Structure 1
């Protein structure tokens, strides 16, 4: 049974990767400027590539959930999504919540993610983390095979 599970796992990942190993792997992305991520994922959307979230995807990185079709996003057991309100720099470098950008980001997320965020009080300056079983009920689990990433 264990051999069958490993074979199916490898087959799933290779099927997602295709002949060109078209896989984008997110491992430790702490986020950044929202527009940069909107542009990045808009460009990725039409490529057909599968996105494997295999570690931290924080802040603006989570826009991947809004821009890439859910059927092309999978999560590993190490996937960890971090959400918080969008912010701008204020006087003295202080973080000031940007309500409009926060509403825009929230509205872009798939319904299960919005519901999860709402259940934790919404997007605020406090970071909340979606991982483990809760995340795996929203997105399919993917299994990594190191060979897939040799040419990525």
Structure 2
């Protein structure tokens, strides 16, 4: 195949274009921890980016412990929420029953910067503890470039 100057120019532009996030989180209230672990491990293995551009609560926060922090950024709309792990309410008659083992598992994934924030804010409890975009969150993960 012959590469014309136009094709060469297009290839160079595509090569120079920064990769967009494969995962763009805007409203994620969490779910099953094992599903999030699997999803984030795939993103890590493919070396893909994550942009947190809204709510990332509960199991969603595992992103900080599985995807390299240099592959994650937050926009001004980012909000992160942490709480203790609990059993599926379908199996506990609708009652929120916390899981010490599950909470310990969550904490084992978080980097020290996340663990420090959680400790400084009273540890994980049944109540959601949120970090809005700003200095506290930037101590954990970088803000996204202006293009976001």
Q: With structure 1 as the length reference, what TM-score do the two structures score?
A: 0.79
Structure 1: gaps of 5 or more residues: 1-13, 147-152
Task: Give yes or no for contact 1:33–1:60 (8 Å, CA) kept in 2.
Answer: yes
Counterpart-to-counterpart distance in 2, 1:44 and 1:51: 8
Alignment of 1:41-60 (within 5 A): 41-60=40-59
Q: How many residues align?
A: 129
CA contact (8 A) 1:107 1:114 kept: no
- Tell me which structure has the larger Cα radius of gyration: 2
Do the aligned partners of residues 91 and 67 (structure 1) sit closer, same or farther apart at CA in structure 2, a change above 3 Å counting? closer
- In the other structure, the counterpart of 1:138 is 140
How far residue 50 of structure 1 moved from its aligned partner, in angstroms, is 0.9
More strand by share: 1
Contact persistence 2:113–2:139 (CA under 8 A): no
Q: Measure how far apart 1:23 and its partner are.
A: 3.3
Q: Which runs of 4+ in 1 moved over 2 A?
A: 89-92, 143-146
CA contact under 8 A between 1:84 and 1:125: conserved in structure 2?
yes
**What corresponds to 1:96 in structure 2?**
97
SS at match of 2:41: helix
Match of 1:6 in 2: none
